[in-house]
Amino acid sequence: MDNLNKYDIKILEYISENKDVKKDFILSKFSKNKNATLSRLEFFKKEKLIREEQELDTSSVPILYNLEIFNITPLGLKTLEDSKLSLSYFLSANRKSTLAIIISAIALLKSFDSTIYKGIQLIMKLLK
């Protein structure tokens, strides 16, 4: 499975931090697009990252009801942790490359500084 995006991570973290989370609470917390959030929950269930609590009704014909209450699975915890580590590594590497670019730009400007200074001195001598 590919790494999770930031939105997936936020949803899984919420489920992980709040045991027995009702679907309505998840939808109210992540309500930018309820259909997208529902689709993510279905994907998480299919990938066994979360499980939905169920209840068996045996009063007549046995029927298994989904209770719309979610918990994160051990695989979900592992995937969440791996994704967070991967994201933090990417951000750390990105910061390092940005810092290297800034240092290079400063060094380049510094080298132009002495060349420009020498050029100004030469022009001043020619004007005298």
Domain boundaries, the chain: 6-100
Measured in whole angstroms, how far is the alpha carbon of residue 103 from the centre of its chain?
A: 28
SS3 assignment, position 24: helix
Distance separating alpha carbons of residues 15 and 30, to the nearest angstrom:
12
Quote the strand ranges of 1-128, DSSP E.
21-22, 50-57, 63-72
Q: Of residues 93 and 62, which shows the higher confidence score?
A: 62
Each residue of 24-63: pLDDT tens digit? 999 999 878 889 999 999 999 999 999 999 998 888 888 8
Torsion angle of C-alpha atoms 36, 41, 44, 48, degrees rounded to 10: -160
| Assigned CATH topology for domain 6-100 | Arc Repressor Mutant, subunit A (1.10.10)
Stronger pLDDT, 94 or 48, i.e. the higher one: 48
Nearest to 54 by CA among 63, 66, 68: 66
pLDDT digits (tens, 9 = 90+) for 59-80: 888 888 899 999 999 999 999 9
Q: Give the residue among 14, 6, 15, 3 at the shortest CA–CA distance from 52.
A: 15
